[in-house]
Amino acid sequence: MLARTPRQISIKLRWLCACLWVISIMPAQGMAAEQPLTADEAERLAEEAYTYGFAIVENYKALFGMCVYGKSPQYSGFNHYLHGRKLFGPQYKTVVSANNDTFYSTTWADLRDEPLVIQVPPTGDRYFVIQLVDMFTDNIAYIGTRATGKQGGTFLLVGPDNTISVPANKFDRVITARSRYVALATRTATDGTPADAKQVFALQEKLKLIPLHQYLGKPPFPVTLQMPEFPVYNAKQLYAQPKLLTYLNLFLTWESPTKDEKGLMERLARIHVGPYQRFDIAEFPPSVQRAIRSGIARAHKRIVAKAEHLGQRIHGWVYTPPMGHYGQDYLFRSAVAYKFIYTNSPEEAIYPIAERDSKDRPLNGAKGRYILHFDADQLPPVDAFWSMTIYHSDTRLMVENPIHRYAIGDRTKGLKYEPDGSLNIYIQPHPPAGSKAANWLPAPNGRFYIIARLYMPKQSAVDGSYRLPPLRRE
Minimal CA–CA distance to 307: which of 318, 316, 297? 318
Check whether 135 has a pLDDT greater than 60: yes
pLDDT digits (tens, 9 = 90+) for 54-102: 999 999 999 999 999 999 988 999 999 999 999 999 988 777 788 999 9
Edge to edge, the sheet with strand 153-158 lists 173-176, 153-158, 116-120, 208-211
Whether the Cβ atoms of residue 173 and residue 148 lie closer than 8 Å to each other:
yes
**CA-based nearest residue to 133, from 74, 85, 204, 62:** 62
The chain-wide mean pLDDT, for the chain, equals: 91
Identify the band that residue 446 occupies on the pLDDT scale cut at 50, 70 and 90: very high
Give the domain ranges of the chain: 36-61+232-307, 70-216, 312-473
Q: E strands along 288-364, which residues?
A: 312-314, 317-319, 349-350, 353-354
Least confident of 249-263, 383-397, 434-448: 249-263
CB-side neighbour CA atoms (13 Å) of 354 = 26
Would you place residue 181 in the very low, low, confident or very high pLDDT band (cuts 50, 70, 90)? very high
Residue 259 has a pLDDT of 87
pLDDT at residue number 256: 78
CA dist 264 and 406 (Å) reads: 45
User: How many CB atoms sit inside 10 A of residue 4's CB?
Assistant: 11
Instruction: Assess whether pLDDT exceeds 90 at residue 339.
Output: no
Q: What is d(CA 37, CA 168) in angstroms, rounded to the nearest whole number?
A: 50
Is pLDDT larger for residue 390 or for residue 33? 390
Angle at alpha carbon of residue 365, lines to 362 and 370, rounded to 5° = 80
pLDDT (mean) for 105-113: 94
Q: How far apart are CA 234 and CA 245, in angstroms?
A: 14
Mean pLDDT value of segment 139-151:
98
Q: What is the DSSP letter of 111?
A: -
pLDDT band at 34; cut points 50, 70, 90:
low
Classified by CATH at the fold level, domain 70-216 comes out as Immunoglobulin-like (2.60.40)
How far, in Å, CA of 18 to CA of 276, rounded? Answer: 9
Asked if 428 contacts 364 with a C-beta cutoff of 8 angstroms, the reply is no
**Average pLDDT, integer, range 129-135:** 97
Contacts of 255 (CB under 8 A, 6+ apart): 134, 135, 136, 160, 178, 179, 180
Kindly report which listed range (86-100, 186-200, 251-265) carries the lowest average pLDDT score: 86-100
DSSP string, 366-415: TT--EEEEE-GGGS--BSS-EEEEEEETTT--BPP-TT---EEETT-TT-
The CATH homologous superfamily to which domain 312-473 belongs is Domain of unknown function DUF1214, C-terminal domain (2.60.120.600)
Identify the band that residue 187 occupies on the pLDDT scale cut at 50, 70 and 90: very high
Kindly report, residue by residue over 392-413, the tens digit of the pLDDT.
999 889 999 999 999 999 999 9
Reference 96, options 284, 338, 289; nearest CA is 338
Higher pLDDT residue, 286 or 113?
286
Higher pLDDT, residue 173 or 5: 173
Using DSSP bridges, classify how beta strands 317-319 and 349-350 pair: parallel, antiparallel or unpaired: unpaired
Element (H, E) at 198: helix 194-205
Q: Which amino acid is at 373?
A: H
> What confidence category does residue 32 fall into, taking pLDDT thresholds of 50, 70 and 90?
very low
pLDDT over 70 (residue 30): no
